[in-house]
Structure formats: structure tokens, C-alpha cells
Amino acid sequence: MTAADPLAGYVPGGGRRARARRRRQQRQRRLALLAVLGLLATAALATYLVQRAPEPPSEIEPPGRTQRTLLLQVRGGDGAAAVSALLAHDEASTTGAVVLVPPQVIVDTAGAGSLPFGQALATGDPNASRNALGDLLGVVVDGSWVLEAGAFVSLVDALGGIAVEVDVPVVQDNAVVLPQGTQRVDGGRALALATYLAPGEPEQVRLARVQEVLDGLLEALPDDAAGVEQRLTGLGEGSQTSDPVTSVASFLAGLQADSAAQQLQYDTLPVIPIDPGGGVTSFRLDVEAARALVDRALAQSIPPGARQTGNRVLVLNGVGTPVGDAVRAKLVAADFVFVASRNAERFGYATTQVLVPEATPEARALGVRVAEALGVEPDVRQADLGTVADVVVIVGADFQP
């Protein structure tokens, strides 16, 4: 370490940082234990609550929605998301939540169909990841923040590094780039820790390291929105936000205040392994556990209609041109739940057909409401839909985005 090293002079111990390190050490041990238990019983994998978690209110009756959500992703060299976390901050209750999302969980996107969540970022649709996660959890994801790997490194370096607890030596190209223990790391090493998975380790252990890095990043951010905005603006095109940088900076400053007040709750997205032993592990959502997580940490972000019955819509593309995003937007705006979009058995449909499971007045009325939401003439037909959705729409050429 040279005198020019921005991390030079860092000495562990003492004061606020020592207390923070002790909290991280306790949290890391809990996370590691939960990850091991997750391999033995799926239920233990569902969610885990770590230090800094506030007691959830018995009832949420705000004058209006005060919780905002932001999907943070770090894009890897292949264009996919190497790190994904759904951040939430409630300015009224001054509480925050972070849901860590494994890149291997299967999601449905409006344009590309079913794919691993991390790959949604590589589709080229800036809204694909945000919409897919919102549909998966049944919550509103208000915005997105995508950091290129280089921008993430630059951000951490501009902050003078972050303090982390490294649970195991991090190895790259047969060389140890991070020894085990409490230390301050620069941006490159922080990214290496957040993306590291040793041979034989489950994905949940890597997510625990992501939490460690995010916790250190929040602690290192300036404690005022103006200071955070300055840091984000300095990242240039490597930092892409769906909302103005001023808004994102204010959100992050609020989340940091939640963390400093020990009112920040971390969870992992509850998932269940599928197709184990096939070379690449994938996950599906643990629906029951995810619902409990949302009720506890993201209840304010449940949109109208998300918990209703009889309003789940599967979209089939019958024209051949991309229509999934436009159809999804109109359905969600009308309080329907978008299930997925796929290609129909053929293209060339002149008009949109709405398929319902029963030939009853109630089912027809539901089909008519779907047609009206899409702005097409109601062509409602009875068909065997299976159990995938309550309504199936075959989009025809009469649909106007």
C-alpha cells in the first residue's frame, strides 16, 4: 500500500465503525447458518431477518403510499445483472428494506418470455427487469438504477472504499485477492466480494456477501442528498437511472438514514431450487414465503388488484410484432395481474380474442373488462385454460399500443 492509496491509513477498531463491524460479524454468522440450513430444508431458505430489522406494524393505514422502491443492479461483462437488490424506503416511518435477488430465479418478461432474472437486463429493454420483478412479487417497483461494473468500482473508490467483513478468502485466477477478515476494500475488491461464489457454495452465501457490500456502501455514502447526488453525477453514463438523479439521491440518503438508525431490514428472495444437478442451478419463487416477505417488508407497495382473485391474464402474441410491454401496461393500469406473454400457436390474428374458462355471464363480463382495458372490441370465447391464468388474451392486429 503506497501513500497515494486512498485506503492508506485505515486502522480497524474504535467508535461507530467498530460497532458496525461487530454488527456485520454477527449478521454474517447468521446468514451463513441460514444458507446451510437452506440446503437441508427449503422452508429455512425462504427469508431471514437480520440485525437492524424493525418490528412490522400490525396495521398499515397511511394517508397515502409513502414507501418507494428502487431496483439496483450491477451489470456484468456479459450484459446480465451480476448483482440485483430491490431497495425500499418509507419516508413516513423512516424504515427501509432490501430484498436480495438471485440472478438464477426464473421470471416472465413481457418481451422475451421466461428466463433467469439476471438475463432480463441483457434483453435491451430498460424496463424488463423492473417489470419482471414487480410481476413476480406482486409489488410496484417505482424505479431502476443500473450501474456498469466499472461505474460501481468508481463509486466505491470515490467514497474512499468501504468497510466489509470477508467470510472466506476470495480467489481469482488461483490467487487470493481478498483475505478473510475485517478490512477496508476498494471498488474492484468490493465487486469481487459481491460476485464471489466458492466451489460447492449455494447461491445464498453469495447473496450474504452482496448484503455485506451494500451495507458497507450505504455506510460510506454522504449523509445528505446533495452529497449523494454529486457522487452519482460523477459516474457519468455508467450510471443509468429511470428517475432523475436528484430523486434517486434523495431516496438513497433516506435509506442510509434508515441504516444508521438500525431501521433497515435485509431479506433474500425466497426461492426453491429446480432441476438440480443439471449443470446450471435455477430457482423458482417460493410463492407462500414470498407473500409473507411482501406483507412484512413491502406491504405499502402492493398495487390495487394484485391480491384479487379472478384477474390473472396470460397474453399470447398473435401478430408477430412485439406487443407484450404495451399489453402489460394497459392490463396493469386496469388492475389486472399480468402473468406472462408468449407467442400464440400461429400469427396472423386479425382481431384480439379473449378466452375465459366458463360460458357464464360472470366470465363473459370479466372478458369484456379485459377487452375494454386493451381498447379492442370484445370477442369473448369459452376455452379450457388450465390453471395458468383466469383469462387468456390472443392479441390481434386490431390492438393499438
CATH code of residue 391: 3.30.70
Bridge pairing between strands 337-343 and 353-356: unpaired
Whether residues 367 and 290 share a domain: the answer is no
Q: Is residue 4 part of a domain?
A: no
Q: What is the pLDDT of residue 324?
A: 87
DSSP 336: P
pLDDT at 41: 38
- Among 244, 267, 301, where does a domain finish? 301
More confident: 220 or 7: 220
Domain count, the chain: 2
* Residues 213 and 337 occupy one common structural domain: no
**Residues 208 and 283 reside in one and the same domain:** yes
Q: 369 pLDDT band (50/70/90 cuts)?
A: very high
Q: Which residue type does 63 have?
A: P
Same domain, 93 and 152: yes
Instruction: Judge whether 272 lies within some domain.
Output: yes
| Mean pLDDT of all residues in 273-294 | 85
Kindly tell me if the per-residue pLDDT of 82 is higher than 70: yes
DSSP 215-282: HHHHHHS-SSHHHHHHHHHTTGGGEEESS-HHHHHHHHHHHHHHHHTT-EEEEEPPEEEESTTSSS-E
Which domain covers residue 387, as residue numbers?
Answer: 312-395
List the CATH number of the domain containing 274: 3.40.630.190
Query: Can you give the pLDDT at residue 164?
Result: 97
Same domain as 318, residue 205: no
| Whole-number pLDDT of residue 23 | 53
Confidence of residue 159 (pLDDT cuts 50, 70, 90): very high
Mean pLDDT in residue range 128-155: 96
pTM for the model stands at 0.79
pLDDT of residue 19: 42
For residue 276, what pLDDT is reported? 54
In a domain, 7, yes or no: no
pLDDT at 336 over 80: yes
In this structure, are 190 and 289 located in the same domain?
A: yes
Among candidate residues 301, 329, 350, the one where a domain is terminated = 301
Summary mean pLDDT of the chain: 85
What pLDDT is stored for residue 175 in this prediction? 95
Domain boundary among 301, 322, 353: 301
Q: Say whether both 272 and 385 belong to one domain.
A: no
Alpha-carbon distance of 325 to 174, in angstroms, equals: 44
* Number of neighbouring beta carbons within 10 Å of residue 306: 19
Fill in the DSSP letter of residue 137.
Answer: H
Same domain, 83 and 139: yes
Q: What is the mean pLDDT of residues 75-95?
A: 96
Q: Are residues 220 and 369 in the same domain?
A: no
pLDDT of residue 280: 64
Task: For helices 287-297 and 128-137, give the axis angle rounded to 10 degrees.
Answer: 100
Q: Is 72 in contact with 249 (CB distance < 8 Å)?
A: no
* Distance between CA atoms of residues 203 and 205, nearest Å: 5
Name the band, by pLDDT with cuts 50, 70 and 90, for residue 253.
very high
The angle at the Cα of 158, spanning 157 to 162, to the nearest 5 degrees, equals 55
pLDDT at 43 > cutoff 80: no
Judge whether residue 70 has pLDDT over 60: yes
Among residues 103, 108, 111, 38, which one has the least CA distance to residue 75? 103
Do 362 and 224 lie in one domain? The reply is: no
Indicate the pLDDT class of residue 279, thresholds 50, 70 and 90: low
| pLDDT tens-digit map of 231-252 | 999 999 999 999 999 999 999 9
Helical (H) or strand (E) element with 75 = strand 67-75
Answer yes or no: is 3 within a domain.
no
Give burial (CB, 10 Å; 0-12/13-18/19+) of 177: middle
Q: Could you tell me if 110 and 26 lie in one domain?
A: yes
What DSSP character marks residue 105?
Answer: B
Where is pLDDT greater, at 4 or 152?
152
* Residues 106 and 131 sit within 8 Å (Cβ to Cβ): no
Q: Say yes or no: 90 and 170 in one domain.
A: yes
